[in-house]
Amino acid sequence: MMVGVSDDRPPEDNPADNAVRPGDDTEIPTPTADPGKPAAPLRLRTLLIIAAVLLGLDLLTKTIVVAELTPGDPVPIIGDFARLSLVRNPGAAFSMATGMTWLLTLVAAAVVIGVIRIGRTLRSLWWAIGLGMVLGGALGNLVDRLFRAPGPLQGHVVDFIAVGWWPVFNLADSSIVCGAILLVVLTIFGFEPDGTRAGHGHTEETVTDNSAEPDEPSGNGANGAASSKGNAA
C-alpha cells in the first residue's frame, strides 16, 4: 500500500502584499546620507592634539612670565598700547567674577568633561578645531586654579597680555574666546558636529502625491469618443 504524497505547498509570499498602499499608516524612511559615501572619520584625536598644543603653549608662556616679570612693572611692546603686565587673577576670563574662584574651577572642569564627551562622536574638522581651542584654554586656566597659590580650587590665574583699555588676559583666554566664536559661526551657517550641513543631509526627496502619473483615459471615455464618431458618420 503506497502512501499518497500531498501536493499542498506553503503559500509563497507575494511582494505586492508587503507593498505600502495609499492610506496605510506606515511611514517610508527617507535616507539622510549617501549610502555609497563613506562616513567622515572621527575627530577626537584632532581635538585632543589641538588642545594639547594650546595647553603646552599656555603653560610655557605663563612659566616664562612668572619667572621674568614683576607685578606692577609692565614691559611695553608697542608703546603703551600693547604691553606685558603680570597680574594674578582670581576671577574668570578678563578679570570677571573675582569673588567666585571655586565656582569657576568647577565650571571649567565641567566644560572639559563636556567637550571630551562631545568629541567622542565628532566628525567635523572645524568643530574639532573650535572645541580643541575651547578645551585647551579651559585646561590651561584649570591648571592654574588647581595648582597655583593660594591653594586648590582657589588658585589665581596668571594673566599677562595687556592691549589698550582691554582687561589683562592670557593665551588660554584668547583660545577660549576664539574657539567659542568659531563654534557660533559654524552653528549659524548650519555646520553640524557630525560633518553634515543643515538642509544638505538628505539625498533623496520624499515623493509627494502631486508627482503621481496622470490617470489614463478610462474605457468609458474611449467608447464615448468612438460612439460620437459613429453618430457623426
159 is annotated as an active-site residue: yes
Q: Tell me the residue type at 156.
A: H
Helices (H), the chain: 44-68, 101-119, 125-147, 171-188, 219-232
Omega before 150 within 30 of 0, i.e. cis: yes
CA-atom Rg of the chain in angstroms: 34
Q: Of these residues, 58, 80, 159, 209, which one is catalytic?
A: 159
* E strands present in 32-114: 75-78, 82-89
> Active-site residue among 173, 194, 209, 215?
173
Residues with Cβ within 8 Å of 163's Cβ and at least 6 positions away in sequence, in order, are 81, 82
Quickly count: other Cβ atoms within 10 Å of residue 191's Cβ.
20
Residue 24 annotated as catalytic? no
Q: Return the active site residues.
A: 159, 173
